[in-house]
A and B are shown apart, each in its own frame.
Chain A
Amino acid sequence: MPDDDLTQRIIDVIAKTQHIPAEKITLDSTFQELNIDSLDGINILFALENEFNVNIPDDAAQSIRTVREMVDGVTKLVEGGAGSSEQPAHAS
């Protein structure tokens, strides 16, 4: 089960990025239902990377189509520590 606080933070990020009320977003919402296209999707990933200080790999990002998949993916990264080790969080 996803962590409730984490889920709410992710929903809040999606709501803020998409300019839609958080109440409209549930775990079962699909990106299509929320009118999230590919460009919106990468913008949400960018916001999530900043919110949780993780790096979301491209391959993982490509398969995400629902809020639940996004929550599951971010949960794994957050629980895994600093997230993906593909690159540092900030380039020097």
Chain B
Amino acid sequence: MGPRRVAITGIGVISAIGRNAGEFRKSLADGASGIRPMQSVAPGLLRFPNAAEVQDYDPARHFDEKDVGLLDRFAQLGVVAAREAIADAGIEWTPELRERTAIVTGSCVGGQSTEDEGFVGLYKNNSGRVNPFTIPRIMANAGASRISLEYGITGPTWTISTACSSSNHALGQAFWMVRSGSVEMAVTGGSEAIFSLGFLKAWEAMRVVSPDTCRPFSKNRRGLILGEGGAALILEPLEAARARGARIYAEIVGFGMSSDAHHITQPSPEGAARAMRAAICDARIDPEQIGYINAHGTGTIANDSTETTAIRQVFGEYANTLAVSSTKSMHGHALGAAGALEAIATVLALETGVLPPTANYTEPDPSCDLDVIPNEARRAQVEYALSNSFAFGGLNAVVALRAWQ
């Protein structure tokens, strides 16, 4: 018996361009950007005034007061997305299934807003003590643990932190576990909520955040736009999904990882190319079968030209006919949640036959000479797609997906 095929049977999203999967889908198809003036931090304190924040999020609509006290915003966003995905998949829980279900999530910095707040009290206000909920709120696995508690899921549960690749690494591990038969189901994805002054100041010092908007692959791009959100996917064996009559969004067919071993912050085309090749190889397909890539596409000078070079290294001449877009132009760069948000954007593209555009695109760049689907979504039924994530630290993770017919 060969490896099992793996179906995606549930999706959940909360992001700057939609508080559920339906809204997210519509925004992607409309090319509607969620980049707006930042609300979390008072104007004038940062060189970058704009962000991709979840709009009108009210914790009380999702959690009781006690839970709000225990869960940092990043964990709340992860749980909200997981609830939607689990409900969407129509899972009928049994004790056996709970034991054979994995939860694998990604987060770059966990509850660092809680940390910021607690330490301001200590260092600035001389409070002399820190809230006892600080530790359970800041731990990067807080969201995964809450999902486990809420649904009584007792299978393997853990969280991966590989900066901007976190949730693609999570998705890949969950996929491999379902494919190999070590679990019967996986709840996977990621979440991030980074809008605290201390962390934003650290990003300001990196000098990679755009002072206006995110224009991936555009010659006049000026950097990334920070975002937040949660995204979750339900994975299960294709045959089991069909047997129970579940809605199948797409298949996840391959996963590839690599490490640049090049520089702590500068990307390398070779590392990115190796991860794409590894995902294609793991999917047992040829590069020419890929019809769409959801790019890492941060909108920084370095990433977009490096990623273009990497795509050309992998696909050669075929890169000229390959559709590539960066949905970060709409939902921003949600760091550890980025991979999961973009995997869902890719799943929706395969499912609906509508490829999301690269929004805010204004000027071609010879160093990013790909078909980047500028500004308007495109009708195209694609069979295979990749979703790229490349992290600071040189850690790359690429997921390969297939349309379900």
Give residues in A with beta carbon < 8 Å to B: 37-39, 42, 45-46, 55, 57-59, 61-62, 86-88, 91-92
Beta-carbon contact of B45 and A88 below 8 Å: yes
Beta-carbon contact of A58 and B207 below 8 Å: yes
Beta-carbon contact of B264 and A87 below 8 Å: no
Residues of A within 8 A of B45 (CB): 87-88, 91-92
Give residues in B with beta carbon < 8 Å to A: 44-47, 197, 201, 205-207, 211, 222-223, 263-266, 301-302
Measured CB to CB, the closest approach of chain B to A87, in angstroms, equals 6
Measured CB to CB, the closest approach of chain B to A52, in angstroms, equals 16
Beta-carbon contact of B44 and A46 below 8 Å: no
Residues of B within 8 A of A39 (CB): 263-266
Beta-carbon contact of B207 and A45 below 8 Å: yes
Q: Which 4 A-B pairs have the closest CB atoms?
A: A91-B45, A58-B207, A39-B265, A42-B207
Beta-carbon contact of B211 and A87 below 8 Å: no
Beta-carbon contact of B205 and A38 below 8 Å: no
Residues of B within 8 A of A37 (CB): 263, 266
Beta-carbon contact of A87 and B197 below 8 Å: no
Beta-carbon contact of B266 and A46 below 8 Å: no
Nearest-neighbor residue (CB-CB) of A87 within chain B: B47
Beta-carbon contact of B205 and A42 below 8 Å: yes
Residues of B within 8 A of A58 (CB): 47, 207, 211, 222-223
Beta-carbon contact of B266 and A91 below 8 Å: no
Expressed in whole angstroms, the Cα–Cα distance for A88 and B43 within the complex equals 11
Beta-carbon contact of A88 and B206 below 8 Å: no
10 contacts between A and B (CB under 8 A): A38-B302, A39-B264, A42-B205, A58-B207, A58-B222, A59-B222, A87-B45, A88-B44, A91-B46, A92-B45
Choice from A61, A88, A92 contacting B207 with Cβ under 8 Å: A61
Expressed in whole angstroms, the Cα–Cα distance for A61 and B302 within the complex equals 15
Using A57-B47, A87-B45 as known contacts, say yes or no to A46 and B205 having CB atoms under 8 A apart.
yes
Expressed in whole angstroms, the Cα–Cα distance for A92 and B201 within the complex equals 12
Beta-carbon contact of B197 and A91 below 8 Å: yes
Expressed in whole angstroms, the Cα–Cα distance for A35 and B47 within the complex equals 28
Expressed in whole angstroms, the Cα–Cα distance for A62 and B47 within the complex equals 15
Residues of B within 8 A of A91 (CB): 45-46, 197, 201
Measured CB to CB, the closest approach of chain B to A1, in angstroms, equals 29
Residues of A within 8 A of B197 (CB): 91
Known pairs A62-B301, A91-B197; list 6 more (Cβ under 8 Å).
A38-B265, A39-B265, A58-B207, A62-B207, A86-B47, A87-B44
Measured CB to CB, the closest approach of chain A to B375, in angstroms, equals 25
Nearest-neighbor residue (CB-CB) of A43 within chain B: B205
Nearest-neighbor residue (CB-CB) of A61 within chain B: B207
Measured CB to CB, the closest approach of chain A to B123, in angstroms, equals 14
Expressed in whole angstroms, the Cα–Cα distance for A42 and B266 within the complex equals 13
Residues of A within 8 A of B211 (CB): 58
Expressed in whole angstroms, the Cα–Cα distance for A55 and B301 within the complex equals 22
Residues of A within 8 A of B207 (CB): 42, 45, 58, 61-62
